[in-house]
Amino acid sequence: MPSDKPVEVAAAPTGGISRAAGMELELLGAPEPAASTQWALFWRRFLRHRMAVISALVLIVLFVVCFGAQWVAPYEKNHQNLLIGAVGPSGAHWFGTDELGRDQLTEILYAGQISLKIGLSVALIATVVGTWLGALAGFFGRLPEQVLMRITDLFLVVPSIAILAIAIKKFGSDSTTIVLILAALGWMYIARVVRGQVLSIKEKEFVDAARASGASSGRIIARHILPNVVGPILVNATLGIAAAIVTESTLSFLGFGVQPPTTSWGRMLSDARGTVGTNKAHLIYFPGLALLVTVLAVNFIGDGLRDAFDPQSRR
Amino acid sequence: MLTYVARRVLYSVPVLIVASFLLFAFVRVTFDPTARLRQSRDVHAVERARHDLGLDQPIVKQYAHWAGGFVHGDWGESTRTHERVFPIIRRAFWNTLQLIIWGVGLSAIVAVSTGVFSAVRQYSVPDYVFTGLSFVGLAMPPFWFGLIAIQFLAVYPKNWFGLDHTPLFFVGLHSSTAPGFADYARHLALPVLTLTVQIVATWSRYQRASMLDAMSADYVRTARAKGVPRRQVIVKHALRNALIPLVTVMALDVGALFGGLVITEEIFSIPGMGRLFIDSLVSGDANVLVVWTVVTASFVIVFNLLADVLYGLLDPRIRYT
C-alpha cells in the first residue's frame, strides 16, 4: 500500500530517539522499558504518581457531579423546606440543611459549578496570556522584557487581595468580571516562568536552524520554542486553577466575590459564618471541605505533572 | 555591598512612586468622597466640596499635592471619621505586628524542627506524616481553618467540659474586664494558629529541601569521617548552612504579611491592617486606602531588600554586582 510509506518514514526517527532515551535510562540504573513516544513516557511517569492519579479520579468525579447536578443532586436547586429549617446531616440530607431548609449537598454541587468554572477560566486565560507575553518578552528581549519585568515588579509590591477587592468594587462582581480581574492579575507569574525558559531555549541550535531555513519569529516561538516549555506551563496552569479557586472563595468570603443568587463555595462559607458556635455549625463544614479536597487534588496533580515532565526534579 | 543596597533603594523609589500614583488614581476614580452630598438641595454643594478637596484639579496635580503632604508627614484625614490617618495606621499596624511576631516565631520553630527532622530521617513515618500535613496545610483555605478552629478549639470544648467561658477567645486581642498576659495569650492562640497554618507548610518544605542538600554535601561527609558526633554535624555543619535559604524566604513572606492578614484579622475581629483595609474599602475611605497601600507596599519592598542583604551576609560566596 502506497499510503503506508510516509507513516513509516515519520515513525522511524521517533522510535529511534525514544529507544535511545530508554537505553540512557537503563545506563542510569533505572530499568524502563522503551516507550513508543515522549507522551507515552510522560503518561507512564504520571501514572506512577499514586496520589496524582487518585486526585485526577477525585476531580473527574467532582466535575461530573457538579456539572451534572441537574441529574445527580438529590433535591432541586434552591428548594426550600421551611418546616425543617437548619438540621444537621441525616439520611435524607447528607450534608444537612440551612435555615431555609435547603439541602446543602445540592447547594454545594451547584455552587461548585461556579467555583470550578471560575478556577478553570481564570487559569486558562491567565495561562494563554501569560505564556504569550512571557514568550514575546523572552524572545525579543530589550523593551518588551523591560516592560514586562517592571509591570510585574509593580504588582508584586502591592498586596494582591487589595488590588482585587478595589477592582471588584470598581468593575462589579458578576462572575465574568471576577474571572477577568483574577486573570488580569494572574498572568504575571506564568509570564515570568515562560520568559525564563524561553531565554535559555532561544540560544539552542535548533532555533538557529529554524531561523536559517527561513521560519518567521512567530513560527519559531509557536512551533519550536513553546513545545519545549509545555511542562512548566502545564504545571503552573494546574496550580493556577487551585490558586484562582482559593482567591475567588477568599474574596467571596470577604463579601467582594459573587453576589446572591449566584453562590460559590466561598460565598456559602461567607453566608454560614454566623453559625460558628451555634448548633448549625454543620453549614461551615462541607463547603470548606469541598474547597479543601478540590485544591488538594489539583495540587497533587500539579505535583504529578511536574514529576512526569521533569523526572530529575524529584526528591 | 553598600553601593548595592543604595542602588536597590534608589530603584525601589520609582517603583513606589509609580505604584502609589496608579493606586491613587485608581482609588480616586473608584471612590467619590462627595457622593453623600449629591442628595443635598444646594446644587453647588458637590461642586464646592470637590473644589475644597482639590478634586477639580488634574489627577497628576492631586497626586503631587498628596505625595508632598505624605512625605512631610501629613497623611491627611479619614473621610469616614475625620481622624488623622497617621494614628489610625499606627494603631492598626501595632495590632498586626503582634500577630506577625508571635505567628512568625511559632512558624519558624515548627518549620525548622519538622524540616530538619524530615531531612535527617528521610522517608521515615514522621517524614511522610509531615509531608502529608504540609500538603493539607498548603491546600487549606485560611478562612475555613479559622472558622473550624473556633468551633473545635473554643466552642466545642466549652460545651464538652461545661465551662463558663470558651478556653480560647476569638474576638479581638484583649478583654476589657480581665487584662493580663494569660488573657492576651488566650486571645492570641487561635489567630496565631491560623496564621501559622498559612505559612508553616511552605517553610517546612523549604527547610526539608535545603537540609537534604546540606546533608549530602561533601563537608558534612568530611566532618562525619573525621569523627565529629552526628548530632554536632547536623546542628553545627548542616543546619547552619541549610538555614540560609529559609531565612531569605521568611524575610520575603514576612514583608507580605503586613498587608496579607486580611482574612485572619477579619475572622478574629482584630483591628489590624487587614481589617482597616476592609473597613476603609466598604466605607469608601479613599484617603486611608491610599496610605494603606503605600505603607504595605513599602514593607514588601523593605523586606525584599532585607532578604537580599541577609542572603549576602549569611553566604559570603554571594557577590553583589
Reported as a single tens digit per residue, the pLDDT across A168-212 is 888 888 888 999 999 988 888 889 889 988 988 888 899 999 999
Q: Do A157 and B19 touch (CB under 8 A)?
A: yes
Contact present, A280 and A286 (Cβ < 8 Å)? no
Residue A54 class from Cβ within 10 Å (0-12 exposed, 13-18 middle, 19+ buried)?
Answer: middle
The mean pLDDT of A161-171, rounded to a whole number, is: 85
> B109 CA to chain A: closest CA distance, Å?
23
CA–CA min distance B139, chain A (Å): 5
Q: Which helix (H) or strand (E) holds B134?
A: helix B125-139
With contacts defined as CB-CB under 8 Å, which chain B residues touch A250? Answer: 141-143, 263
Determine which of A154, A155, A157 to mutate to test the interface with B (most B C-beta atoms within 10 Å).
A157
Residue bearing the bigger pLDDT, B235 or A141: B235
Can you say whether residue B112 is alpha, beta or left, with left for phi > 0 and alpha for psi between -120 and 50 degrees?
alpha
Q: What is the DSSP letter of B272?
A: S
Rounded mean pLDDT of A57-79? 88
Question: What is the predicted pLDDT for the residue at B118?
Answer: 92
List chain A residues with CB under 8 Å of B140: 292
The C-alpha cell 461530573 sits at A64
**Arithmetic mean of pLDDT, B72-76:** 82
Whole-number mean pLDDT of chain A?
82
Cα(B220)–Cα(B234) distance, integer angstroms: 8
ipTM associated with this complex: 0.84
Q: Which pLDDT value is given to residue A159?
A: 80
Give dist(CA A56, CA A60) in Å, integer.
6
What percent of chain A stands above pLDDT 90? Answer: 25
Find, in chain A, the residue whose alpha carbon is nearest to that of B278: A254
Those residues whose C-beta lies under 8 Å from the C-beta of residue B121, and which sit 6 or more positions away, are B127
Window 114-173 of A: residues touching B by CB (8 A cutoff) are 150, 153-154, 156-159, 161-162, 165-166, 169-170
The model's pLDDT over B10-49, given as tens digits with 9 standing for 90+, comes to 888 888 888 888 888 888 787 776 766 667 677 777 777 7
User: How far, in Å, CA of A231 to CA of A212, rounded?
Assistant: 27
A165–B281 C-beta distance less than 8 A: yes
The one-character DSSP state at B104 is H
Model confidence pLDDT, tens digit, residues A36-59: 677 888 888 888 888 899 999 999
Which residue from A254, A266, A285 is facing B262, i.e. has the nearest CB? A254
DSSP string, B47-64: HHHHHHHTTTS-HHHHHH
Cβ within 8 Å of residue A39, ≥6 positions away: none
Residues of A in contact with B151 (CB under 8 A): 276-277, 281, 284
Query: Which residue has cell 542572603?
Result: B311
**A-B interface: how many C-beta pairs under 8 angstroms?**
108
A259 touches chain B (CB under 8 A): no
The CA distance from B314 to B250, in Å, is 14
Q: Residue B137: name the closest of B195, B79, B183, B187 by CA.
A: B195
A83 pLDDT above the threshold of 90? no
* B316: CB partners within 8 A, 6+ apart: none
Please state, in angstroms and as integers, the Cα–Cα distance from residue B253 to each residue in B247, B299, B306, following that order: 10, 11, 11
Chain-chain contact of B147 with A254 (C-beta, under 8 angstroms): no
With an 8 Å Cβ cutoff, is A246 touching chain B?
A: yes
B150 vs B145: CA distance, rounded Å: 9
Average pLDDT of chain B is 86
The reported pLDDT for the residue numbered A200 is 86
Region B176-188: mean pLDDT is 81
Q: Is A114 exposed, middle or buried (0-12, 13-18, 19+ CB in 10 A)?
A: buried
Query: Do A123 and A236 touch, CB atoms closer than 8 A?
Result: no
B213: chain A residues, CB-CB within 8 Å = none
**pLDDT tens by residue, B261-318:** 899 999 999 999 999 999 888 887 888 888 888 889 888 888 988 888 888 788 777 7
Torsion over CA: B241, B244, B247, B253 (sign)? negative
Q: Does residue A19 register a pLDDT over 50?
A: no
pLDDT at A36: 65
Shortest Cα distance from A14 to chain B (angstroms)? 36
What three-state secondary structure class fits B28? helix
Enter the C-alpha cell of residue B101: 511576631
Residue-level pLDDT at B36 = 67
Residue B301 Cα, gap to closest chain A Cα (Å): 7
| Contact partners, residue B225, CB within 8 Å, separation at least 6 | none
A31 DSSP 8-state letter: -
Of A159, A266, A299, the CB nearest to B139: A299
Helix or strand or coil: residue A78?
coil
- Asked if B296 lies within 8 A of A159 by C-beta distance, the reply is yes
User: Which residue in chain A is spatially nearest to B296 when comparing CA positions?
Assistant: A158
Q: Which residues pair with A97 in a beta bridge?
A: A103
State mean pLDDT over B216-235: 91
A214 touching B, CB under 8 A? no
pLDDT score, position A33: 53
pLDDT at residue A1 above 60?
no
Nearest Cα neighbor of B303 from A146, A187, A159, A166 is A159
| Cα(A30)–Cα(A82) distance, integer angstroms | 63
**What is the model's pLDDT at position B23?**
81
What local confidence, expressed as pLDDT, does residue A10 receive? Answer: 36
Show the cell assigned to B6: 543604595
Banded pLDDT at B196 (limits 50, 70, 90): very high
Task: Compute the nearest-CA separation of B1 from chain A (Å).
Answer: 22
Contact indicator for A169, B281 with CB cutoff of 8 Å: yes
d(CA A229, CA A14): 19
**Among partner residues B23, B141, B262, which is closest to A288 by beta-carbon distance?**
B141
